[in-house]
Amino acid sequence: MATSLLGYGVEVFERDDYRCVYCGLDCRSFELWRFLTVDHLLPNIPEYKDTRESLGWKATACQFCNSADNKFFKKNEITDKMKPEEIIKMRLEGIRKTTAKYYKHWLKEVAEKRLKKLEPVCRSQ
C-alpha cells in the first residue's frame, strides 16, 4: 500500500494542491486521492539518499504518470545540479508519449468496443 497517503506524502500533496504535476488530475476526492503518489525526482542512489527525500525533490503524481516512464532514470543523466522544474519537464515528455499510446488504445479498444455497450452514466444530481 502507498504509505505516502498516510504520512510522508502529505506535505508534497499540500504544496501541489492534490493535483498531479504532470497531467493536472485533481485528486481531492476520496476516489482519486487513493491514486496519488510521491514522485522522486532524483535517482535512488546512495549519493542522493537524503537529498531525494527533501520536499523540493518530490512531486505529486497520479499513479499513471508516476509509472508511465519508468525507464526515465536509465535513459537520462539526472543530477542534483539540475533544477526540479527542469526534471519535471523532462519527465513530462516521456509521460506524454505513454499517455498518447494509451489514449489511442483506449479510444479503439475500450471506448468504441466496450463503453458503447454500457448504459450511459448519469452524473447530474
When the beta carbons of 20 and 87 are compared against Zn ion, the nearer one is: 20
- The yes or no reply on residue 13 touching Zn ion (CB under 5 A) is no
Query: What letter represents residue 80's amino acid?
Result: D
CB of 16 to Zn ion, least distance (A): 11
Write 51-58 long-range contacts (CB < 8 A, 24+). 51/80, 55/11, 55/12, 55/15, 56/84, 57/84, 58/12
Q: From the CB of 5, what's the least distance to Zn ion, in Å?
A: 16
Hey, which residues does 61 pair with through a beta bridge? 37
Q: Which stretch binds Zn ion (CB under 5 A): 12-20, 41-49, 75-83, 111-119?
A: 12-20
